[in-house]
Chain A
Amino acid sequence: MDDMMFEVGTALILVAIASVIAGKLKFSIIPFLIVLGMLVGPHAPTIGILDFKFIDSQGVIDFLGQIGILFLLFYLGLEFSVQKLVKSGRNIVTGGTIYVTLNFVLGLAYGFLVQMPLYETLIIAGMLSVSSTAIVAKVLVDLRRTGNAETELILGMILFDDIFLAVFLSVMSGLLLGGTASIGATILSVGISIGYMLLFFVIARKGPPILNKLLRITSNEIFIIVVFSTMIFIAGFSEKLHVAEAIGALLFGLALSETEHSERIEQLVVPFRDFFGAIFFFSFGLSIDPLSLGNAFWLAIGAVILTIIGNLIAGMIAGRKAGLSHKSSLNIGLTIMARGEFTIIVANLGVAGGLSVLIKPFSALYVLVLAILGPLLTKESKRIYRGVNRIFKWSEPVEKGKKKHSGVREVSEVSEDSKIKLDQ
């Protein structure tokens, strides 16, 4: 028992160190923690007396990571409200639909192309369609793009994407976790999933008066105990119904999103989400055998290329439809490309449903590449725009600059570049 605590503590210290390094490099912690997990996982070689394999404590770490998923999705549920989406306007719904449809169809096509069975194909299509809310929001803040014109559209599209994720996970968990082979039983379990989801939508719609009263708890201590316990209970209960536990947490968040307490809960959840979320990425890394990555290498690279193309096209269409400039539209595709937590969650569902062993290393590589490449491409969007512009000859700003005062433009361009260098 003593050893257990020490092992978990050591693991957490490693997580902390990786987070600090990621922070210093101004990078998302997600890829760092996954790689760290792979490096110290049960598959890693022992180096001298240093044995970081965390075999005894793996159960505990996995469990903490699962709690991390619950918090991630609970927060997601709290954040997205249908009202918010309706308020944010038609551009977002159009953009989001284009984005999700294009990527999902590309994913399906890819799955069939590489001759995956149906369920695996669906899971791959799902993985390709869901962007990483955590990485995108972080990149926007870090690169100081929150004031840009395209930012609302990007975040709105992600919100839309998240709703797609909720529906997708519900349906897939019905398909995969029902544990039956007959068509009738499968339809039944999908029906249960969807019905379960609708139930929470109804609660979110009709429930707030009652929930408001129930949650009118002054003490933060009791409030947090009530909310978190209920969340974990609902997650566990959902699993009993063969609905993924993550969905339970998400739906519970959704039910609370329209109450007057939603902001208070959000504030309380964030630290837990961040802490347990970090453990989740780490434990995901732990579960991956680096040697198995080779098998999925080409599969993942193909998916990465497809995602880059799909995102650029979807971003351009969405941006241009919303009346943004070519440059802003390009930014949309580049920013929204990052993949992270939700892709892993989709993959985990596939693994839980007993699908192909390739899913896990595939998701690891796919997420790793795009969690690193996405933010990098976003950062270099200016240079990419200049390159792409040479081919398509869109740009008005450059012509305008030439006409008006090319000297000034030159200077500002140079100073922009040097600023980026200073950042690094």
Chain B
Amino acid sequence: MSFIRESELPGIGKKFLIQTRSGDKLAVIIHNDGRREMYHFEDDNPEETLSQISLDDDEARQIAAIVGGMVYKPKELETIEVSLQDLIIEWIRVEPHYHGADKSIEELEIRKRTGASILAIVNRHHQKINPGPEQILSVGSTLVLAGERQQIRQFKELLIGKQTGEPDQS
């Protein structure tokens, strides 16, 4: 496990000293005014910096998102997550132009018409695991689905609505 030490720099801000598994030593300073600084130290001489970078608050957030993998996600990961023999667990985001957007599970008769099951509805603010029939598939939420390939495809057709003509992934 990498090692992180947090310490206070009175009057300046906070300092995080990070020792990575690969042996890199990195110091991150968060200034009280929001600026961030990062220093990468030489391997064999922890007093010399190899590189340093100064970031504004917004830049730091962007870079954090990039490093954290929040901005770019490989395409495959966006949909199919797990496949256990015939069972597939997949997720899909509800877009505003979808036929099924803002309708309840009951209204769409999902189980009856597709056989797929919604395991969870994940919102930015809350998540509902194992949702009941009255749950609304609100715009912007992500649905976690389970079912066979055929069932999932039917579910997508039902949710998106055939008339929108979204190219089918499979």
Residues of A that sit less than 8 Å from B by CB: 79-80, 84, 87-88, 133, 137, 140-141, 144, 146-149, 151-152, 155-156, 158-159, 266, 325, 327-328, 397, 400-401, 404, 412
Contacts and interface: CB of A to CB of B under 8 A. Distances in A.
B12 A152 contact: no
B127 interface: no
22 contacts: A84-B10, A87-B8, A88-B7, A140-B12, A141-B12, A144-B49, A144-B52, A146-B15, A146-B31, A146-B37, A147-B41, A147-B49, A147-B52, A148-B47, A149-B46, A151-B9, A152-B8, A155-B9, A155-B12, A266-B32, A397-B45, A404-B44
Contacts of B15: 146-147, 151-152
A307 to B, nearest CB: 21
A155 B32 CA distance: 14
7 closest residue pairs by CB, A with B: A147-B39, A147-B27, A146-B29, A137-B11, A159-B10, A155-B10, A155-B9
Given A144-B37, A147-B27, A155 B44 contact: no
B52 A137 contact: no
Contacts of B48: 412
Contacts of B7: 88, 152
Nearest to B50: A412
Interface residues of B, number: 23
Contacts of B44: 400, 404
Contact of B10 (A144, A156, A327, A328): A156
- The prevalent SS among residues of B at the interface is strand
Contacts of A79: 10-11
A87 B15 CA distance: 14
B47 A397 contact: yes
A2 B52 CA distance: 51
A152 B41 CA distance: 17
A84 B12 CA distance: 14
Interface string B27-39: 1010110000111
Contact of B47 (A80, A88, A149, A155): A149
A158 B52 contact: no
Contacts of A159: 10
A401 B15 CA distance: 28
A156 B12 CA distance: 11
Nearest to A324: B47
Interface of B: 7-12, 15, 27, 29, 31-32, 37-39, 41, 44-49, 52, 54
A400 B43 CA distance: 13
Interface-central residue, B10, B31, B32, B52, by most chain A CB under 10 Å: B10
B11 A147 contact: no
Contacts of A156: 10
A151 B54 CA distance: 17
A397 B45 CA distance: 7
A88 B11 contact: no
Contact of A325 (B27, B32, B39, B47): B47
Among A152, A327, A401: residue with most chain B CB under 10 A: A152
Given A88-B8, A146-B29, A149-B47, 20 more contacts: A79-B11, A80-B10, A84-B10, A88-B10, A133-B11, A137-B12, A144-B54, A146-B27, A147-B27, A147-B38, A147-B39, A147-B52, A149-B46, A151-B15, A152-B8, A152-B9, A155-B10, A156-B10, A328-B47, A412-B48
A146 B47 contact: no
Contacts of A327: 47
Contact of A141 (B27, B31, B46): B31
Given A325-B47, A328-B47, A147 B10 contact: no
Nearest to B41: A147
B39 to A, nearest CB: 3
A246 B85 CA distance: 75
B3 to A, nearest CB: 15
A141 B35 CA distance: 11
A149 B17 CA distance: 10
A168 to B, nearest CB: 19
A400 B45 contact: yes
B67 to A, nearest CB: 18
A327 B48 CA distance: 11
A401 B46 CA distance: 13
A146 B11 contact: no
Contacts of A151: 9, 15
